[in-house]
Chain A
Amino acid sequence: MSRSLRVANGGSIRRTRLLSFSFNGTLYSGFEGDTLASALLANNVRTVHRSFKYHRPRGVVGSGAEEPNSIVQVGSGSKATPNLRATQIELYDGLTARSVSGWPSLRVDLYALNGLLGRLLPAGFYYKTFMRPRFLWSWYEHFIRKAAGLGQAPREADLDHYDKLNIHCDVLIVGGGPTGLMAARAAGRAGARVIMADEQAEMGGSLLSSTASIGGKKPGDWVETVVSELTRMPEVILLPRSTVTGYYDHNFLVINERRTDHLERPDPRLRRERIWRVRASQVVLATGAIERPLVFSNNDKPGVMLASAVSTYLVRYGVLPGRKIVFFTNNDSAYQTVLQLVDAGMEVVAVVDVRSDPQGDLIQQVRSAGVPIFEGHVVVDVRGGTSGLRMVLIARVNKTLDEILSHKGELRCDVLAVSGGWNPVVHLHAQSGGKPVFNEECASFLPGPSVQNERSAGAGNGTFGLADCLREGAEAGRRAAQDAGLTGDGSVDIPKVESHVEGSLHPIWVVPNGLAEGRGGKKFVDLQNDTTVADIRLAAREGYRSVEHLKRYTALGFGTDQGKLGNINGMAILADVLGQAPGKIGTTTFRPNYTPVTFGAIAGREIGSTFFDPTRKTAVHQWHVENGAEFEDVGQWKRPWYYPLPGETMNEAVRRECLATRESLGILDASTLGKIEIRGPDSAEFLNRIYTNSWLTLEIGRCRYGLMLGEDGMVMDDGVTSRIGEDHYLMTTTTGGAAHVLAWMERWLQTEWPHLRVYLTSVTDHWFVTSVAGPNSREILTKLCTDIDFSADAFPFMSVRAGTVAGIPARVYRISFSGELAYEINVSANYGRSLWQAIMTAGQSLNITPYGTEAMHVLRAEKGYIIVGQDTDGSVTPGDLGMDWIVSNGKDCIGKRSLSRQDTRRENRKQLVGLTTVDPTLVLPEGAQLLNEPAKEFPAPMVGHVTSSYFSPSLRHSIALALVKGGRSREGSMVYAQLIDGRVIPATIGQPKFFDPENQRQKV
Chain B
Amino acid sequence: MLEINCPWCGPRDQIEFSCGGEAHIVRPLEPENLSDDDWADYLFYRKNPEGRHHEQWCHTAGCRKWFNAIRNTVTYQFETVYRIGEDLPEKTSR
Contact = CB atoms under 8 A, between A and B. Distances in A.
A526 to B, nearest CB: 32
A420 B43 CA distance: 60
B36 interface: yes
A592 to B, nearest CB: 12
Interface in A739-753: 743, 746-747, 750-752
A250 B84 contact: no
B2 A896 contact: no
A250 B31 contact: no
Given A250-B76, A712-B43, A897-B31, A747 B66 contact: yes
Contacts of A250: 1-3, 76
Contacts of B2: 249-250, 252
Nearest to A760: B64
A252 B11 CA distance: 13
B76 A896 contact: no
B31 A751 contact: no
Nearest to B78: A250
Contacts of A902: 36
Contacts of B75: 433, 451
A926 interface: no
Interface in B2-57: 2-3, 13, 20, 26-27, 30-32, 34, 36, 39-40, 43, 56
A712 B42 CA distance: 10
Given A249-B2, A252-B1, A743 B60 contact: yes
Interface string A234-261: 0000000000000011111000000000
Contact of A901 (B32, B40, B65, B66): B40
Nearest to A711: B43
B34 A897 contact: yes
* Highest count of chain B CB atoms <10 Å: which of A166, A896, A898: A898
B88 interface: no
B1 A248 contact: yes
A746 B65 CA distance: 9
B36 A901 contact: yes
Contact of B64 (A249, A251, A746, A898): A746
A719 B54 CA distance: 35
A751 B1 contact: no
Contact of B65 (A166, A433, A750): A750
A279 B31 CA distance: 46
A738 B84 CA distance: 25
B72 to A, nearest CB: 11
Contacts of A898: 39, 43
Contact of A896 (B26, B31, B43, B56): B31
Contact of B56 (A166, A433, A451, A751): A751
Given A250-B2, A252-B1, A751 B60 contact: no
A743 B19 CA distance: 12
A892 B32 contact: yes
A972 interface: no
* Highest count of chain B CB atoms <10 Å: which of A252, A751, A896: A751
A456 B30 CA distance: 58
B1 A249 contact: yes
Contacts of B66: 746-747, 750-751
Nearest to B31: A897
A896 B13 CA distance: 37
Interface in A874-907: 892, 896-898, 901-902
A626 B43 CA distance: 51
Given A747-B66, A754-B85, A901 B60 contact: no
Q: Report whether over half of chain A's contact residues are helix, strand or loop; otherwise say mixed.
A: mixed
A750 B59 CA distance: 12
Contact of A750 (B13, B30, B43, B84): B84
Contact of B39 (A251, A750, A897): A897
Contacts of B60: 743
Contact of B3 (A252, A433, A451): A252
Contacts of A252: 1-3, 13
A574 to B, nearest CB: 28
Contacts of B30: 892
Contact of B58 (A747, A892, A896): A747
A898 B2 CA distance: 36
A253 to B, nearest CB: 10
B85 A279 contact: no
Contacts of B32: 892, 896-897
A754 B84 contact: yes
Contacts of A433: 75
A257 B56 CA distance: 37
A751 B84 contact: yes
* Highest count of chain B CB atoms <10 Å: which of A166, A711, A712, A897: A897
A892 B31 contact: yes
A216 to B, nearest CB: 45
Contacts of B34: 897
B39 A901 contact: yes
Nearest to A755: B85
A250 to B, nearest CB: 4
Contacts of B65: 750
* Highest count of chain B CB atoms <10 Å: which of A250, A433, A451, A898: A250
B3 A747 contact: no
A897 B39 CA distance: 8
A604 B20 CA distance: 30
A279 B40 contact: no
A652 B84 CA distance: 57
Contacts of A279: 3, 13
A247 to B, nearest CB: 11
Interface in A526-582: none
A750 B68 CA distance: 12
Contacts of B31: 892, 896-897
Interface string A748-780: 001110100000000000000000000000000
A252 B14 CA distance: 11
A975 to B, nearest CB: 32
Interface string A705-734: 000000110000000000000000000000
B44 to A, nearest CB: 8
Contacts of A451: 75
Contacts of B58: 743, 747
B1 to A, nearest CB: 5
Contacts of B1: 248-250, 252
Contacts of B36: 901-902
Contacts of A750: 65-66, 84
Nearest to A279: B3
Nearest to A748: B27
Contacts of B3: 250-252, 279
Nearest to A451: B75
A752 B39 contact: no
A250 B77 CA distance: 8
Contacts of B85: 754
Contacts of B27: 752
Nearest to A713: B43
Nearest to B38: A897
Nearest to B11: A279
Contacts of A251: 3
A167 to B, nearest CB: 12
B25 to A, nearest CB: 9
B40 A249 contact: no
Contacts of A711: 43
Contacts of B13: 166, 252, 279
Given A250-B1, A750-B84, A898-B43, 19 more contacts: A166-B13, A249-B1, A252-B3, A279-B3, A279-B13, A451-B75, A711-B43, A746-B64, A746-B66, A747-B20, A747-B58, A750-B65, A751-B56, A751-B66, A752-B27, A754-B84, A892-B30, A892-B31, A898-B39
9 contacts: A248-B1, A249-B1, A433-B75, A751-B56, A892-B32, A896-B31, A898-B39, A898-B43, A902-B36
Interface of A: 166, 248-252, 279, 433, 451, 711-712, 743, 746-747, 750-752, 754, 892, 896-898, 901-902
Closest CB pairs A-B (n = 3): A897-B31, A250-B3, A750-B66
